[in-house]
Amino acid sequence: MLNNYQVRQVLFLSIFLAIAPASKAFCSDIGFFDDFKQGHWRFESVGGIGLSSPDESDRKGDYYFASSLGYEFPIYKSRREVGLRGYPVLLYSQDRNDEGKSDTVYACSFGPVVRWYESTIHKGGYLEIGVSLLWNSDLFRSNASNWNALTEFGVGYKFDSDWHVALKLQHISNGQTRSPNEGVNAVALCFGFAF
């Protein structure tokens, strides 16, 4: 006799096997695989400073540096690109600290990103949103979790040479899964290139 967990596994596998061929055919019909092949890698360097907000901890004096690598591809005949981006290295230096923890937090993250360009050739101005799962070696000040979400909103410009610059607002939080969770807000200047 199967328990509830095993029944859910069998049900999930059955649904997946039923829709997988249909979704592959649908993706082929709309040109998804062709779009994916038109994708490119993107490298980006990021430098930012912490912000203070009335509801959260004072982050003035904090700063950070990061590098990201991602693969992005255009979406079917539109001005959007989607992709996956990873921050293999993120260093965040805290101006003040509590409970004797390290002043520098080392982190890495991985998650999806979407860009909306002003033109269908994916050059010029763009807006960007990204969400990543972030793991940090030490705790951020007034944050009780080593697992957090990194949310990014940005505005940028991609040049004809495939270089780009962007200004981003970033928020790191554990989503109230643990207390305390005052979060980290930062503004960042980014530059990078596609290849």
pLDDT digits (tens, 9 = 90+) for 114-171: 999 998 888 999 999 999 999 998 888 778 889 999 999 999 999 999 999 999 999 9
Report the alpha-carbon distance of residue 150 to residue 174 in Å, rounded.
Answer: 9
Asked if the model's pLDDT at residue 194 lies above 90, the reply is yes
Share of the chain above pLDDT 70, in %: 74
What pLDDT does residue 62 have?
86
Which of 134, 124, 128 lies closest to 177, judged by CA? 134
pTM of the model: 0.75
What pLDDT does residue 9 have?
66
Alpha carbon distance, N-terminus to C-terminus of the chain: 54
